[in-house]
Structure 1
């Protein structure tokens, strides 16, 4: 739902609830605190855990498998074994099929996606002055654990990708600060840096519970029969456009889910399998000192995701048990789960290679994280000394669904177009075989114009009707010229990547930067690198692709956790990607009477107030230092001591302009913000001393923007955090 809103924040805290007698004598002039627009009786919606009773499936280990090969580029895998079939569990049984039934077969995962990382925060700048009514940027002294507790803790990074996922871990005490990856996965004796983001279910009937029967390599290798579901690409369900508009919002084919399963359930089930296996492998590697129950877990998400997608991701991760209360009195265990953006994680990894790129303090670099599903871009600046570098985000991040997966989809569309008069080659097994051949071979080495005259040959799965030169069928092969592949498959996707990079450069004052660092599986594409060099070589002195580019995000996520033991971590500041706004009532000014006379009303105290005013918690583009609370002062009228709750709506805007009124520009409702004032000493005092007629309570709300997530906090007059607000995101049914 879109709404409209506008400029200037006056120096006045806002009030929630209806009008009332007079403001209490708090030392603040009457009417200087913004009033929230009539808050409906608040609900505690959003506090319940998502989908209680979700099955936490166990991973299937140890199936024997033939030799697997790994492409030198991007970590994509090929499984040259004939497919196997699986019998369903006995009726009414939750028993999983025998693991040995899952033999790796033909897999077409495409170029592996490399995830992203966190972003952090420095005091507001630029527009901050225009929006900064009663707003402060305050260092949060109570975020996370103390330095002593953090030192030596295990950090586990999880790159949950569209096509591939991976796990890395490290500990400054037990592993000397080094980062290791899990390389052995169920279903293979070979080593792979990532595992397919794939999960398989069996469901006998729509009324039966869907049972997880395989995940990762084993799920990817399954040949499906009736009642089985192989789910891939389910991360795309959390794309902001899909959350707003549903399945039709993306050109990618969203998978069919078992009856009764929601996207969050599938994410939870996959993370549960991945985490259970990862814990076993990490414990085998470093023993009981791992203390996985108290580990920090860092999940990466695309830069383009909004807070709603991140919240779903957090709910799924908590339901999957990625973090749990480690001991009695551990009230902050949920804070050990951190969600960061993929570019930030990649930037942290790149900072460890700064000498390789010959970067110096004060220089800027762009991270282009080109993965399987998304491509994300962000600009950072090196600050400090080389011995202890920090990274500051320099501009808002950007991202789009134009990863290597979309090459596969465009290739499939090309095949359908060429063979539309030969339907025998368009059934599911045939299309899978064509796509596998493209994804595992030709996509990895395609060189663009140099291959225009090359004929690329793809074997037909069916031997019938296999020769018709008019549609490029020649003796059982589909023959496609390189110039057709470039024009219809590669160029539309690569052009989107170049557009993202152009947009990112345009945000810099000189439209130039010192380095462009390419990471992610898609970054291994020779044609993509060639086009980037051609387009930006005259603007960027260093265009580099580090070794192990497909796991840069994964490595960076684990290093992010290790950096928490330092003062503030590696990334010191982030740019607010959007404006976060609340609607309120403010004392009417002459400007309000002139500009919006229809918004002027008298409250119960007889004071003229202007309705439909906007209070900016933080403006788009503001620089925010990590660990800071962006605070604003508000006021609520309570008619009785039990009237301690209110619910307001948090709005977001992608506009650069700052609005004053709700009807001046487009705003989007992001979430309901439920706040309980009862822990505030001032509320308790007012409630105990007021005999009749109600009372006002002034309070401070703080907003934390930590990379990908937003967190609301309630703060006392002394600056102590006494509660975190509950966000109920719109569109999550």
Structure 2
């Protein structure tokens, strides 16, 4: 366990990390006391849990009544008889709602078809807000009960707590904006308190967990500094590659390949099992038992499955339930081990492809693969990944920590706030703006687009759809590094130049040098908009060759990509020649 420096703040502060998973969620926290080194703790008691000692996770489920009111959340939503009560009262269950937060460009066809719909009249942000509000109440109750003077602590520090929200690797600013909106609606922070919300990817949180939990010793890290973390959860599997910085004696890490997010978590094993059950039982007396079978499979067979040589039995009915054609005897469905293995195969294949893609993306030889997350506990998944990598000649040591791997993201998110191990991250795409360029008839690419040319206020002819790259793909980006690009806007109306709104576009295609937005159009996505106000005195008055007055402004877009959130500024040169910067707002489409 890594020791931390004492907290030097002037007063106590509370840090809460919420890991809202697709199927299960958890809370970790740290109470920062002046003069003491911070410690990370985890909430281990929640309302309605079966175990007297509690656990660190609750189901990510919310029940709503017909009026849209919350009726049951978490473990309360899985207590005995809840399904009967819900059917009687007309309640609707919201589950897997986290996946509805993703942008369409992030998802997959498999995810889209498998995600249960949201309750009528509810958006994903609404459900997340209700769930976050519940987590906050659970944290308040636990801290008040578990610590001497806990109630007073919550009263003093709870209203000003800092929150760390974890999200899948593939999510960006649009999803973060939705999560922040949910946090405001949940009462975690006010709308003007952006600084109290911090985001971290699940992959980076897992790295922090592995470091603080001592998964790799300092000696191992010095000998084999390059590794991949596989956070296998319920909905997503997050793949990240890191390297300990050899130039830094402290525990500083750099991302060495663009992080990946796969929609192949454990819920998709259930999806394939469901398809099998539907096909097997369609037209029989047991076709209405599919939901029950999936639930039994999820709680038993999926967890303990370790060999495809033995049959698996799902007990779902009574001794009188028999159907030889369907392999049902005395209320038990017999599954061939190879059929069960097939449910896992898409996840295994996806992880293997992602791991090898990470290795190909970096010049550093990967020595270790660290598995965390609830899905990692499955022996069939873990052992097959290990075996196949060895058979293919990849001598990577595959490790599954003995520590509570289902707490990795929540505890790692607090460590991210406290320790900040990662100093550089890899850009996942090309980022830039759509601009127009002077039309050059000698340029063959320009001639191809001659019909789309137009004349601007300065009287010159321009060609549109030029992609101006600000940040290339697969570039290591430090938190302090600035990316900037200069632009000129012109108009016959001065007022149009005083307020800027520019669309930041990202290219995720295969082209290594994307230049035109009308080529491979499907690989370009809107990332966000940069909005800013420019002072009128930097807007110049000019005349074009036709003698008409027009206005132009010369400025630079300054972007900070090295943080977990994109930040922006606008820069221009003052009359003295010195640079001046102004604030810019990053805005995302809802």
Q: Is the TM value for this pair above 0.5?
A: yes
Equivalent residue number for residue 504 of structure 1: 358
Deviation at 1:524, TM superposition (A): 0.8
Q: Determine whether 1:518 maps to 2:371.
A: yes
Alignment of 1:167-206 (within 5 A): 167-173=27-33, 176-188=37-49, 189-203=52-66
Q: Determine whether 1:393 maps to 2:259.
A: no
| 8 Å contact kept, 2:257–2:362 | yes
| TM-score normalized by the length of structure 2 | 0.85
In structure 1, the gaps of 5 or more residues are 1-146, 204-208, 326-330, 564-568
Deviation at 1:628, TM superposition (A): 3.4
- Deviation track 1:632-653 (CA, whole Å, cap 9, x = no partner) reads 2223336235752233332211
| 8 Å contact kept, 2:97–2:118 | no
Alignment of 1:559-708 (within 5 A): 559-563=415-419, 569-588=420-439, 592=443, 595-596=446-447, 598=450, 601-637=454-490, 639-641=493-495, 644-655=498-509, 656-666=511-521, 667-671=523-527, 673-678=529-534, 680=535, 683-684=536-537, 686=539, 693=549, 695-706=551-562
Deviation at 1:243, TM superposition (A): 7.5
Q: Determine whether 1:213 maps to 2:71.
A: yes
* Cα separation, 2, equivalents of 1:316 and 1:706: 25
Alignment of 1:288-437 (within 5 A): 288-289=152-153, 291-324=157-190, 333-352=193-212, 353=214, 354-355=216-217, 358-360=220-222, 363-384=225-246, 388-423=250-285, 425-427=286-288, 430-437=289-296
Deviation at 1:249, TM superposition (A): 5.8
Deviation at 1:615, TM superposition (A): 1.2
Match of 1:271 among 129, 132, 157: 132
Q: 1:396 to 1:243 in 2, by over 3 A?
A: closer
- Deviation track 1:578-637 (CA, whole Å, cap 9, x = no partner) reads 111211123445764774361655432234544332211211112111143322222333
* Cα separation, 2, equivalents of 1:357 and 1:401: 35
* Cα separation, 2, equivalents of 1:343 and 1:297: 18
* Cα separation, 1, equivalents of 2:43 and 2:540: 56
* Cα separation, 1, equivalents of 2:33 and 2:571: 35
* Cα separation, 2, equivalents of 1:347 and 1:573: 13
Q: Secondary structure at the match of 1:448?
A: coil
Equivalent residue number for residue 4 of structure 2: none
* Cα separation, 2, equivalents of 1:404 and 1:625: 34
- Deviation track 1:464-515 (CA, whole Å, cap 9, x = no partner) reads 6x1122210112211122222223x2223322222222222222336x4121
* Cα separation, 2, equivalents of 1:658 and 1:385: 32
Deviation at 1:693, TM superposition (A): 4.3
- Deviation track 1:320-347 (CA, whole Å, cap 9, x = no partner) reads 232337xxxxx6x202212221111111
* Cα separation, 2, equivalents of 1:173 and 1:185: 25
| 8 Å contact kept, 1:580–1:652 | yes
* Cα separation, 2, equivalents of 1:499 and 1:193: 31
Deviation at 1:721, TM superposition (A): 5.3
Q: Determine whether 1:475 maps to 2:330.
A: yes
Q: Determine whether 1:236 maps to 2:89.
A: no
Q: 1:694 to 1:172 in 2, by over 3 A?
A: same
- Deviation track 1:643-699 (CA, whole Å, cap 9, x = no partner) reads 522333322111342223333333424155252324x4xx34659999x94532222
* Cα separation, 1, equivalents of 2:11 and 2:488: 41
| 8 Å contact kept, 1:592–1:600 | no
| 8 Å contact kept, 2:505–2:526 | yes
Match of 1:166 among 26, 50, 53: 26
* Cα separation, 2, equivalents of 1:544 and 1:303: 21
| 8 Å contact kept, 1:395–1:508 | yes
Q: 1:170 to 1:369 in 2, by over 3 A?
A: same
Deviation at 1:251, TM superposition (A): 5.7
| 8 Å contact kept, 1:231–1:257 | yes
Q: 1:478 to 1:195 in 2, by over 3 A?
A: same
| 8 Å contact kept, 2:457–2:550 | no
Deviation at 1:573, TM superposition (A): 0.6
Match of 1:494 among 331, 334, 348: 348
Deviation at 1:148, TM superposition (A): 6.9
Alignment of 1:30-179 (within 5 A): 153-173=13-33, 176-179=37-40
Equivalent residue number for residue 262 of structure 1: 123
Aligned pairs, how many? 553
* Cα separation, 1, equivalents of 2:563 and 2:337: 41
User: Whose helix fraction is larger, Structure 1's or Structure 2's?
Assistant: 2
Q: 1:643 to 1:344 in 2, by over 3 A?
A: same
Deviates more, 1:302-311 or 1:192-201: 302-311
Q: 1:504 to 1:579 in 2, by over 3 A?
A: same
| TM-score normalized by the length of structure 1 | 0.69
Q: Secondary structure at the match of 2:276?
A: helix
Q: Secondary structure at the match of 1:556?
A: helix
Q: 1:213 to 1:159 in 2, by over 3 A?
A: same
Deviates more, 1:290-299 or 1:602-611: 602-611
Q: Secondary structure at the match of 2:251?
A: strand
* Cα separation, 2, equivalents of 1:370 and 1:720: 46
Q: Secondary structure at the match of 2:182?
A: helix
| 8 Å contact kept, 1:632–1:700 | yes
| 8 Å contact kept, 2:27–2:139 | yes
* Cα separation, 2, equivalents of 1:278 and 1:387: 36
Larger RCO of the pair (alpha carbons < 8 Å, separation 6+):
1
| 8 Å contact kept, 1:172–1:562 | no
- Deviation track 1:364-383 (CA, whole Å, cap 9, x = no partner) reads 11001101111111110101
* Cα separation, 2, equivalents of 1:261 and 1:316: 12
Deviation at 1:271, TM superposition (A): 1.3
Equivalent residue number for residue 116 of structure 1: none
Equivalent residue number for residue 542 of structure 1: 397
In structure 2, the gaps of 5 or more residues are 1-6
* Cα separation, 2, equivalents of 1:579 and 1:242: 15
Q: Secondary structure at the match of 1:278?
A: helix
| 8 Å contact kept, 2:507–2:525 | no
* Cα separation, 1, equivalents of 2:542 and 2:443: 36
* Cα separation, 2, equivalents of 1:604 and 1:386: 53
- Deviation track 1:113-139 (CA, whole Å, cap 9, x = no partner) reads xxxxxxxxxxxxxxxxxxxxxxxxxxx
* Cα separation, 2, equivalents of 1:384 and 1:282: 40
RMSD: 3.1
